[in-house]
Amino acid sequence: MTMPGAWVWLMSGYALLLLVFAWAFDGMAKRTSERAAQWRTGKFSYHEDHDAWKCPEDQWLWPTSFDPDNRVMRYRATPSICNACPVKDTCTTSHHGREISRPVDPWPHSEAGRFHRGIACAVAGFGVVMPLATLIANHRPADVLVLAGTILIVLAGGSPLVRHLWNTPSNAPQDTQHQISRQEQVANVEAAIDRYSTRWGGFTDSSSTRRQHVNE
């Protein structure tokens, strides 16, 4: 059996490289999303056992509503406590309390996540299409063996990307909506006008110094 042609090896290597690029792109998008989430929440910490956030001033932000369109849970601090906080000006300008949102689905089930995962799947898909197209002009047994093996590897390596994207949930969790009272929902609607008054990034490093000056 003759050895595969140089063009076959080149195309196979390029297809495998596309698979690597697809996973690398998806990984970078996921890390960017995680960094953006950390920037938005600042030094606030999420406590899964309470399903609530705690701010650097040891105050709690409790769930107030579920957004089915963006699939995020929204949490808000008690307005009276938030407005009396000595470092409020470094956190939010809202008079309804600081708000934080948390995605209820894992990556890549946000809108941005699905967009970037779709790009990764498209890149990996080219790693299948190109060897298939090469088979049209290369019919020798060695060529077919190398190209078919490459296609199988790319399909196996890219299937997790496609499978996770395909399994995107479409319905809101049933255990989140009943936790919100009608009064809290109305208050959250009234506070929607100042949703973007939060100063993303939370408290600055000088918040503790500012607090000491206020206490003095």
N residues, the chain: 216
More confident position, 103 or 168: 103
d(CA 37, CA 57): 20
Task: Locate the DSSP E strands across 22-123.
Answer: 45-47, 52-54, 60-67, 72-77, 99-103
Positive/negative CA dihedral, 64, 68, 73, 79:
negative
Please, what is the average pLDDT of the chain?
A: 79
Q: Where are the domains of the chain?
A: 6-199
pTM of the predicted protein model: 0.67
Strand, helix or coil for residue 53: strand
pLDDT value at 127 more than 80? yes
**What is the pLDDT, as a whole number, of residue 129?**
93
